Amino acid sequence: MYDLPVQLIVRLKGDVVLVNKSGETVRQLGTGTGKDFMGTPIQLNDAGKGLCLANISQGEFCLHDDAAVHYEAMTAHKTAQASERQHCTGNTLYLQQPTDCTFLRWKSKFAGMALPLLIAAVVVILTFLWLKSRRPKKFPPGPPAIPFLGNIFSLRGKPAVKILEWKEKYGDIFGMFNGRKRVVVISDFYILRKLFGEEAASGRVLQSSIRDKDSSLPIGIGLISSQGDLWKTHRRFALSTLRDLGMGKNWMEDTIIAEVEGICQALRETKGKPFNPKVQLTNSVSNVICALIFGKRFELTDPKFSRLTNLIAENIAILKLDFVAQTAPFVLWFPNAVRTQIFKARRNISALTEFMKQMIKEHVATSGENLDAPDYLYAYQQEKLTGAKTDGKESFNELQLVGSLFDLFAAGTETTSTTILWMMVFMIENPDVMEKVQREIDDKVGRQNILTNSDRPRLPYTEAVILEVQRCGNLVPLGVPHQSREDIQLEGYTIPKDTLIISNLFSIHRDPRYWKNPEKFDPTRFLDENDKLLRPDGFVPFSIGKRACLGEALAKMELFLFIANLLRCFTLELPKGKTLSHNDYQSSIVNSPDPFELVFVPRF
C-alpha cells in the first residue's frame, strides 16, 4: 500500500525532515512553507496545531500530526479517513493530533534490517524450543528423532510393529518423540506392573485435535480421558455401579444372554449364505452396554443405531491421525486427507454427544418406570443427590455424565465385538481348535443348552481359547496412552512430568520370556497338566494397574457367553475360494481384522 521514495518525515523539535528508506535525511524542511524533495509544496501549520500538506494528489501521500511527528504515504486520500486526528479538504490534508513517533523512528532505523532480524528471531525461538524438547538427562535411549517432528514418520502404517523393532534395539524402556512430545515405551510386564501401579503414571494426555476446547465433548472429562480427582471419583463410581448392576438377579447375565440369542437367530437366518457379521454383532454387543447405561436396547438392524456404532468404529480408526495433527497443527489449515478425517471425527463426536443427550432426556421423561433394573443413568442421578458412593458429588454434572456415557458406550462396543471377530478369524485358521471347543461343550453341557456363566468352570478349554484369542488378536496393541503427572524414577531412568507413557502390550504378548513359541496359536498354554486354567504373567489385554480396563469383568462375561454360544450353535466356514488371515488387519488404537464373510453352518 505504501510506495514512496520517502520512507517518512519526522519533525523533531519543530523541524520537518524527509528521510529516505535507509534512514538518511534527504531534506531539512524547517517550519512554514516549503517543498518536499519531490517538489511538492508543503505548508506547515505554524500555529503548531497541525501540519498541512498542499497539493497532495490522489494516490500519492499524506501526512499526520500537528507536532508533525510522522508522515507517511498512502495510496489514496480516503485511506486517511477523516477522524479526530485528521481531516481532508480537496487535495489538502490536515492532521491535528500529536502522535508518538517512537515506532516510526525505530522503523526508520531498522527498516533495512527487518527481514534479517525476523529470520534471526525465528532461528533463536526454534533453537530454544528444540533444545527444550531434546532428550533430558537420564531420559531412556531410543531412536534418533527429527527436530520438531520426532519419530512420527516412522510410525506410519502399523506403529506397534515398528515399536517392536525399536524395543529389540533399545530395550524394555526406550524413549522417542511424537513431534516435540516426549514418549516412553514400556515393553516389560514387571516394569509395567510396577509403573502403572503408581499414581504418578496415571495421567492422560489433555490435548486432542478432535476433542479440543470448542468440542461438544472437550478432552479431560468422562472416564477415559479425565485424570486426578475427577477421574478417581468417577472411576470409583463407575466400578461400583457396574458391580452392583451385575449382582442381584443376574440381570447383567440375562441381558447378555438375550443378546446372544438374538445374534444366533440373525445368523441362522443367513441360511448358509456368506455373511459379514460385523454390523449385527457390534449392535448386539453394544445393546448390552446400552441396557446397562440407558436401560434401553435397539433392534439389530435399526439403521440409526448401526450408524451410531459405525461412528465409533470410524473414530477409532481416525484416532491415530490425532498424533499427526498435534505434531503438525498446520495440516488443519488447508484441505488435505488428514484434515478431512479429523473434521469427520469431530462431526462424529457431535452426533454421538447428541445421542447421549437424547438418551438422558428420554430417561428423565420415563424415570421411575423400571426401577427393578436401575441403570447407570439412574445411579448417576442418585449419586448426584446423595453422594452415597463417592465424596465428590458436586462433580456429577451433565457434561461429566455425557462424557462417562460416551466412554462406556464407545469402550464397551468396539472392543468386545472386535475380539469376537478375532475369534472367528482364529477359528477359521485353526479348525481343529474349533472342533475341540465344540466337543468340550457337547460333552460337558450339551449342544442344545444355552451356556451360562455357571458353565464356565466346566469348560476350561473354551476359556483357554478365548484367552489365546485375546493374546494373539492384540486388540489394544499399545494400550491407551498414559501421561506422567510428575517426574518418575524408573530403573535408573527419569521420566519427566508430562511425558506420554505407552504400554507395549503387543510386545509383551509375543515376548519369548513369557510365552513359548509365541507366534503359535496354542490355547493349551493357558492350561496346566490337570486342565486347570492358568493366568500367566505377561497376559495383559486389559492393561494393568490403576487405570486398567474398567469394564474387564463385564467384557470377560460377554466374551464367554457370546463366543461359547456361537461355537455351540455354528461351525464357521470360509466361502469357497476365499481366504482369511490374522495378518490382514487395520491398525489404530484398536487392531481389527479386515472385513470378511463367513458361512455360519448351524450345528442343530
| 221 counts as binding ligand HEM under rule CB under 6 A | no
- Contact pattern for ligand HEM over residues 395 through 414, marking x by CB under 6 A: ------------xx--xx--
Q: CB 217: neighbour CB atoms within 10 A?
A: 21
Site string for ligand HEM, 426-465 (x = CB under 6 A): ----------------------------------------
For 562, other C-beta atoms within 10 Å of its C-beta total 26
Stretch that binds ligand HEM, among 253-261, 270-278, 475-483, 577-585 (CB under 6 A): 475-483
The number of residues that bind ligand HEM (CB under 6 A) is 27
Looking at the Cβ atoms of 286 and 326, the one nearer to ligand HEM is 286
Bridge partners, residue 571, by sequence: 601
Say which DSSP state 139 is in: P
Using rule CB under 6 A, residue 549 touches ligand HEM: yes
Q: Does 466 bind ligand HEM (CB under 6 A)?
A: no
Least separation in angstroms between residue 274's CB and ligand HEM is 26
Which of 363/547 has CB closer to ligand HEM?
547
Comparing CA positions, the residue from 82, 83, 86 lying closest to residue 70 is 86
Q: Determine the residue with CB nearest ligand HEM.
A: 551
Q: In this structure, are residues 9 and 42 in contact, taking their beta carbons and an 8 Å threshold?
A: no
Longest Cα separation, the chain: 115
Residue 496, class by beta-carbon neighbours within 10 Å (0-12 exposed, 13-18 middle, 19+ buried)? middle
Among 63, 221, 257, 475, binds ligand HEM (CB under 6 A): 475
Please list the helix, strand and coil fractions of the chain in percent, rounded to the nearest 5, in that order. 45, 15, 40
471 near ligand HEM, rule: CB under 6 A: no
The Cα 362–Cα 367 span in angstroms is 8
**Binding-site member from 61, 174, 542, 562 for ligand HEM (CB under 6 A):** 542
Of the residues 425, 555, 561, 598, which one makes contact with ligand HEM according to CB under 6 A: 555
Among 465, 550, 557, 561, binds ligand HEM (CB under 6 A): 550
Q: Does 223 bind ligand HEM (CB under 6 A)?
A: yes
Tell me if 476 contacts ligand HEM by CB under 6 A. Answer: yes
| 219: contact with ligand HEM by CB under 6 A | no
348/415 with CB nearer ligand HEM = 415
- Closer Cβ to ligand HEM, 87 or 232, answer by number: 232
Task: Indicate the residue type of 464.
Answer: A
Residue 93 pairs in a beta bridge with 53, 88
Counting contacts by CB under 6 A, is residue 480 touching ligand HEM? yes
Asked whether the beta carbons of 77 and 62 are under 8 A apart, the reply is yes
Nearer to ligand HEM, 7 or 208 (CB): 208
Choice between 4 and 399, CB closer to ligand HEM? 399
Distance CA 257, CA 129 (A): 56
Q: What stretches of 512-551 show up as alpha helix (H) in DSSP?
A: none
Q: Is 549 annotated as a binding residue?
A: yes
> Binders of ligand HEM among 25-44, rule CB under 6 A?
none
- Distance, in Å, from the CA atom of 601 to the CA atom of 206, rounded to the nearest integer, reads 48
Nearest to 54 by CA among 9, 88, 26: 88
Instruction: Say how far apart CA 388 and CA 237 lie, in whole Å.
Output: 10
**Rg over CA atoms, the chain:** 34
Query: Which residues contact ligand HEM by CB under 6 A?
Result: 223-224, 235, 289, 407-408, 411-412, 415-416, 419, 475-476, 479-480, 482, 503, 541-543, 547-551, 554-555
Annotated binding site for heme: 549
